[in-house]
Amino acid sequence: MSSVPDRSEVDEEYTWDLESIYASDDDWEAAYESVADRVDELQTYDGRLTDDATMLLEALELRDEIMREVSTVAAYARMRRDEDTTDQQYQALTARAQSLAADAQSAASFIEPELQELTREEFEAMMETEPALTTYDHYVDDVLRMKPHTRSAEVEELLADLSEVTGATGDVYNMLSNADMSFPTVENPEGEAVEITQSNFTNLLKRPDRDFRRRVYEGYFDEWSEMRNTVAAAYKNSVKADVKTAQARNYETAREAALDGPNVPVSVYDTLVETVHDNLDKLHHHAELKREALDVDEVRMWDIYMPLTGDEGPDLEYDQATEYVVDALEPLGEDYQSRVADGLESRWVDVYENEGKQSGAYSGGTYDTQPFILMNYQDDIASMYTLAHELGHSMHSELTKDEQPFVYSSYEIFVAEVASTVNEALLTNHLLETIDDPEFRKHVLNEFLERVRSTLYRQTLFAEFEHEAHRLEEEGEPLTADRLDDLYRGLKSDYYEPAAIDDRIAREWMRIPHFYRAFYVYQYATGISAALAIVDDVLPDGPGSDPNPDAAEDYLAFLRRGSREYPLELLRTAGVDMSTSDPIDRALSTYGRRLEEMDALLE
């Protein structure tokens, strides 16, 4: 019998308040029908969008009105489905909402190509005629910026038609890894059979029995070995599609094409990699601490995920976790802190796991709703950090909505992970400053160190791998399974120099689905770097010191800007210049200091 409760058994106070969006499904239906009837209104502007300033303003405002309504309709359906993914009714509502969103995007698809027929000077003249168009100044600038990489209507239509084909390797990989592959069953120390899955693999590598971890590791990667040539072929063709698509859009490299979307120079990518390489000694120190904590002669790849604490952390009930998180946010000011506290009281969070509930965690909601956070809280420190993380995303959206129109209410991945990680870092500082229990402190430090290891170092390693793989393709070198293994083995050897590198870990690249969305993962590393640098400025004299109100206000100003500017400009608002190595150096210095603290505690 399952210990996971039915949703009806969860107290309402620990569920999110979706009735604040639509009081009933009938109200959702009425909203759906209303906005569906409006989608075709956009077509009346097709072919005459830029005839005059008034026409352009009307079209852009109509698009925003429709997209706002569509996003709310879609969010409600998706979140109802996520409460119980087996519910056929909400599966159907979600499918209808997704179809409506696709129809709306299609109906608006003429807008950006027609905008690109304007010059910058012509648009500025339109703003003179119709001052309300100044709201869209940055948006139009971004559209016009992409004009050199936008092809003729015929070529764009062909590229759009081919996108399903060029992205097919990712679909093939996902079906192979999630549906067709089956991993072995391993006996745990209690004599129970444990099936290895994609979802539980890393958690199994945190179990204290070292021989069990080894058998899990070997069984898992041996299964990947059976698919080695198939996965290599899929990844090779994914890389080839990236390269060919970039060439079709007049880019020199696939990396340049990927980074140009958010307008991030490739030098930012290179600076990240170079700076991390200059600080590999800290990661080596972390590996050495694991060797000492495990009392082994050599760290093996099945030891990497093992906590330095060596055991499970303390139980931490949700209500206590919320108290810690709210208290930790004090350096950001009373308004920020009280809004988080009020949100937690106002059912922003769907807290506990229930039968059929979507796994994981996310921050949702739309421009016209309160935030909504899906959790599967497990009464542990990791869950508390996840809550702090998602509240960071929610507050980013809330502060953006305070000051920005809908067109700037979203933001690029490059900045999205900053707000979430600032909350995590403030939580670490608060707990280490206020809690004396050495065991609790060890678990807090371990949580922080593992998040830096897996986010800053690991994602940078991945970024190096995909850059080199694309470079090899662009230079005409064949991407065979052996070549990819050698490339990954070399990187793993550099990053984990004190540990033993075996043939199985050379295949780890095969298990990373993010590689089928090229040049994406580096943004996790830049995000955590920017966040730790911001916390350094907010608390210039360290945890427990008086916060710097100017730095805190600069950070909040960044959150309020949404996507009103390009990512690097936005982060400069917060006092962080990601075009330099400084934020990365500062983040890695914090990591180094925390390693020293853990070293002292372990002694």
pLDDT tens profile 273-321: 999 999 999 999 999 999 999 999 999 999 999 999 987 789 999 999 9
**Long-range pairs for 128-136 at CB < 8 Å and ≥24 separation?**
129/52, 129/53, 129/54, 130/53, 130/54, 130/56, 130/57, 132/57, 133/53, 133/56, 133/57, 133/60, 135/405, 135/407, 136/60, 136/407
- 412-423: average pLDDT: 95
Q: Longest Cα pair distance anywhere in the chain, in angstroms?
A: 78
pLDDT at 156: 76
pLDDT of 2 over the 70 cut: no
pLDDT of 387 over the 70 cut: yes
CA nearest to 16, candidates 71, 68, 97, 79: 79
pLDDT tens profile 546-597: 899 999 999 999 999 999 999 999 999 999 999 999 999 999 999 999 999 9
pLDDT at 175: 84
Q: Under DSSP, is residue 354 helix (H, G, I), strand (E, B) or coil?
A: coil
Contact (CB, 8 A) for 290 and 303? yes
Contact (CB, 8 A) for 377 and 318? yes
Six-digit token string for 152: 């003729």
Confidence of residue 161 (pLDDT cuts 50, 70, 90): confident
Q: Where are the domains of the chain?
A: 9-150, 182-226
Look at the alpha carbons of 93, 514, 351, 534 in this order and tell me if their dihedral is positive or negative. Answer: negative
- 114-141: average pLDDT: 97
Burial class (CB in 10 A: 0-12, 13-18, 19+), 3: exposed
CA separation for the pair 564, 545 (Å, rounded)? 33
- Cβ-count burial 185-209 (b if 16+ within 10 Å, e if not): ebeeeeeeebebeeeebeebbebee
Cα–Cα separations (whole angstroms), residue 1 to 187, 188, 352, 551:
22, 21, 18, 53
Lowest mean pLDDT among 165-174, 388-397, 527-536: 165-174
Q: Assign a CATH topology to domain 182-226.
A: Helix Hairpins (1.10.287)
Six-digit token string for 254: 């696939």
DSSP 20-66: GT-SSHHHHHHHHHHHHHHGGGGGGGTT-TTSSHHHHHHHHHHHHHH
Confidence of residue 1 (pLDDT cuts 50, 70, 90): very low
- Cβ-count burial 60-99 (b if 16+ within 10 Å, e if not): bbbbbebbbbbbbbbbbbbbbbbbbeebeebeebbebbee
CA nearest to 390, candidates 350, 429, 358, 436: 350
Phi and psi dihedrals of 545, rounded to 5?
-80, 165
Catalytic residues: 390
CA separation for the pair 399, 365 (Å, rounded)? 13
Q: Classify domain 9-150 at the CATH superfamily level.
A: Oligopeptidase f, N-terminal domain (1.20.140.70)
Equal fold, 9-150 vs 182-226: no
- 392-396: average pLDDT: 98
CB atoms within 10 A of CB 413: 16
pLDDT tens profile 50-98: 999 999 999 999 999 999 999 999 999 999 999 998 899 999 999 999 9
